[in-house]
Amino acid sequence: MSAWEWQKGRPRSYLLFNARVRAKRRGLPFSIVKEDIVIPEFCPVLGIGIVPAFGKIRRANKDHSPSLDRIIPELGYVPGNVMVISNRANSLKRDSVDPAEHRAIAEYIERETARVHRELG
């Protein structure tokens, strides 16, 4: 089985593997398991469809690809602090200058940060 076939058939495993690599590289806590990764049909930030796609298909549909977000980045990849959002939303969190996009991102961050604080204390 090629790497592309593996990624295509196991999107949660693919997201988990890459998160583990990023956590190690950045020295972040990592304790999530595959079951902590839920890929929704629609992005909770932008409302666009999320399409698990990898390889050449992912490049063509990158904005709609699933991306694992750390809601409170410094907490790392721990249960309750990760959510799958669209790659577009995660990129906007980092790069956007559009005020409407900033509002959508800010509402998501406020809502989810409050939830993480409630759940994780």
Token pair, residue 36, equals 């902590």
pLDDT at 55: 59
Task: Please say whether the beta carbons of 18 and 28 come within 8 A.
Answer: no
Provide φ and ψ at 69, rounded to 5°.
Answer: -100, 135
**Does residue 5 have a pLDDT over 70?**
no
Residue 58: pLDDT over 80:
no
Q: Tell me the β-bridge partners of 70.
A: 82
**Domains and their CATH numbers in the chain:** 3-120 (3.30.40)
Integer angstrom CA distances of residue 101 from 28, 39, 56, 88: 28, 22, 27, 11
H or E element at residue 83: strand 82-86
In Å, how far from its chain's centre is CA 93? 11
Tell whether the model's pLDDT for residue 56 goes beyond 70: no
| Cβ neighbours around 50 below 10 Å, total | 24
Q: Which pLDDT value is given to residue 59? A: 58
pLDDT digits (tens, 9 = 90+) for 89-117: 998 888 877 788 888 888 988 999 999 99
* pLDDT reading at 12 higher than 70: yes
As a whole number, mean pLDDT of residues 14-26 equals: 95
Strand partners, 68: 84
Tokens of residue 103, six digits: 């509002």
